[in-house]
Amino acid sequence: MAHPLRRQLGLFPLLCVSVSAVIGSAWLFAAMYAAQLAGPAAILSWLISIGAALVLSLVYAELGAAFPVAGGLARFSYFSHGNLAGFLAGMACWLGYVAVAPIEVQAMVRYLSDFIPGLVSNTDGIRSLAPLGMAVSAFLLLLMSAINLLGVSWLGESNKILTIWKAIIPVLIPVALLSVSFHSGNFNDFGGFLPGGWNGVFAAVSTGGTLFAMLGFRTAIELAGEAKNPARDIPLALVGSVLITGAIYILIQIAFLGALPAQSLAHGWSGLSSHVDTGPFVTLAAGAGLFWLVKLILIDTIVSPGGCGLVFTGAAARLPYAMARNGQLPPAFTVLTRRGVPALAIFVNFAVGLVFFAPSQTWQSIVSFISSIQIISLAFGPPSLIALRRAAPDVERPFRLPAPRLFAAVTFLAANLIVYWCGWQTNRVCYGLLAILGMVFVVVKMIRSPHEDLDLDGLFWLIPYGAGMAAISMLGHFGGGWGWLPVGWDYALLVVGSLVVLAVAARKPRPRLPGSANAG
């Protein structure tokens, strides 16, 4: 028997969900990886990531308040551009979400590996899960899935306590480090403030984890269908979580940069010692003699990633549910338990999540994949915003962006720039997966539902968009790109291409609004 989703979440639980999703394993590792790539200029990487998250949160604040449905990121493009665009946006979002809980689990196991032998192997300086670590990781992922089966109300209430802890400890730790161990010379003495140049800053955004950290704000959107007052609370939760966590992460980065001893920088920022790499803040706290702080950090290596993984396990389950509501996945995904939980989606996500524990997967490699695929999914938001303004002008919008066309253009361009910075090695996987899934979707739909409108005219902007982004990434200078495009021309092509695609997409809405005859 199917049971309806329950509107049980108020503003504070929604805010906690987004804050908890942002403060996960990234605070344990991103400061170090960003510093390796950008040196002290990692602070600029955080500012870019916070700015990108903020403008994206404002776009989705309007969409989420106007259309408060579960799994909104899989449904807004469906509402604005129909079947094919909605499917691709939903699959991109799902692929990004389903990878988050495994990476949080991997972070927990990696920190614990310093105290429990056999969890992690080190081959040529690359740390990955050993067989024992894979088994422990699988158990922790299963535990997160089981907790989510208890229902969204229980998740929201229990997450309040976790979030309060997670907001206090990442502030207390950098403050303690700054008070006893701060070397101002670190910001200038080892290659200057920009040792890796601007390319290092951009690489830290995409592969260093700074953007990955901030993307957790979006989880409140997935739970909009279970919010008591989504018109008011969704915008506040989205924007509030970005501002709160952004301030915390900048503090963490400054403390990490200043607390590093000179011997850790003997080979420059790109050569931070492997000892710091194992558990950055544990090493710094122990080196400063703050052994009480070491104990707190070790506790938080369980709480922060665990809470983040718990939230994303629940959010990821809402996406197959939403896509099934669109008619893009089997209807079995819409069946809810008595607690209002899409159990089948949780089971499927658990099975897929196990793939990310393969020996070839590291924290950084998964971060790069998540950053690219999630930003690709978020890039569907600006076209949806403009198209829905045109196609559904009478829908009540409790939160309305000023100058929506300008705002959408800036946001769409920012998203595409970040995807470009993620590099060709990552982007070829993301775009390849989406192309294959899109073709499978079209073929299956044509066989099973030959009379259903697939909204294939969306290909007029989807193909130029995907192919153009893939080509620029392949010919560009980031992450294994061929480097054929002269510096400056790559960005010029991105700007012009983004504006053209957005203009075409905004003029080709295929609205399937909730409650309409063609909504599916």
Q: Give the per-residue pLDDT at 323.
A: 85
Lowest mean pLDDT segment, chosen from 68-72, 115-119, 287-291, 334-338: 68-72
Nearest-5° angle of CA 31, CA 36, CA 38?
85
Residue in 250, 202, 337, 191 with CA at minimum distance from that of residue 50:
250
Cα 268 from Cα 200, distance rounded (Å): 14
Mean pLDDT of 322-336: 84
What band does 6 get if pLDDT is binned at 50, 70 and 90? Answer: low
Residue in 207, 242, 309 with CA at minimum distance from that of residue 47:
242
- Domain segments of the chain as ranges: 11-506
Question: Does the pLDDT of residue 407 top 80, yes or no?
Answer: yes
Q: Give the per-residue pLDDT at 238.
A: 84
What confidence tens digit (pLDDT) does each residue in 119-168 have?
Answer: 877 766 666 778 888 888 899 999 888 888 876 555 555 566 777 777 78
Question: Does the pLDDT of residue 517 top 50, yes or no?
Answer: no
Cα 202 from Cα 196, distance rounded (Å): 10
Q: Give the per-residue pLDDT at 390.
A: 86
Mean pLDDT of 328-353: 86
Name 358's Cβ contacts closer than 8 Å, sequence gap at least 6: none
Mean pLDDT of 348-359: 85
Lowest mean pLDDT segment, chosen from 205-219, 354-368, 458-472: 354-368
The architecture that CATH gives domain 11-506 is: Up-down Bundle (1.20)
Lowest mean pLDDT segment, chosen from 1-10, 158-167, 414-423: 1-10
Cα 162 from Cα 264, distance rounded (Å): 33
Q: What sections of 207-270 are H helices per DSSP? A: 210-214, 219-222, 230-259
Q: What sections of 422-458 are H helices per DSSP? A: 424-448
Q: Give the per-residue pLDDT at 424.
A: 93
Mean pLDDT of 10-22: 77
Question: Does the pLDDT of residue 464 top 80, yes or no?
Answer: yes
173 token code pair: 């730790």
Element (H, E) at 129: strand 126-129
More confident residue, 508 or 75: 75
Mean pLDDT of 417-428: 91
Q: Give the per-residue pLDDT at 419.
A: 92
Question: pTM for the whole thing?
Answer: 0.84
* Residue position matching structure tokens 């400890």: 169
Indicate the average pLDDT of the chain.
Answer: 83
